[in-house]
């Protein structure tokens, strides 16, 4: 979720404030850390207005974008089992994608 519009970002932050343990659980799994490292994105310097500055999810509430990356070598891309590898990576990505979709669709 790269640079979402302000209303969407507000919905996502509100969802994160209520469900931050779920987000933390997703990005703390060994598989997520191994494949993606950490959740990335531009951040505000302070927690946005309307949220407690001492909220346990403050580091997420400051975020303006939410993305991850995974580098691939030419060797990986050319391997016979590349599609299987992609499927395994997307399975690790799916919980984060579902969380962010729930955040702006269901709140």
pLDDT on residue 104:
80
pTM: 0.88
Interior angle at CA 99, CA 94 and CA 104, nearest 5: 130
Spatial contact of 76 and 98, defined as CB atoms under 8 Å apart: no
Q: How many CA atoms lie within 13 A of 67 on its CB side?
A: 11
pLDDT on residue 107:
55
Positions of the chain with pLDDT under 70: 106-107
In whole angstroms, give the CA distance from residue 60 to residue 87. 27
């Amino acid at each position: 979720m790269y640079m979402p519009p302000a209303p969407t970002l507000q919905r996502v932050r509100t969802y994160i404030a209520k469900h931050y343990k779920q987000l933390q659980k997703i990005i703390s799994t060994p598989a997520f850390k191994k494949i993606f490292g950490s959740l990335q994105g531009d951040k505000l310097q302070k927690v946005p207005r309307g949220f407690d500055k001492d909220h346990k999810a403050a580091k997420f509430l400051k975020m303006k974008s939410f993305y991850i990356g995974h580098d691939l070598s030419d060797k990986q891309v050319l391997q016979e089992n590349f599609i299987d590898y992609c499927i395994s990576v997307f399975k690790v990505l799916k919980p984060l994608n579902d969380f962010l979709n729930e955040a702006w669709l269901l709140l």
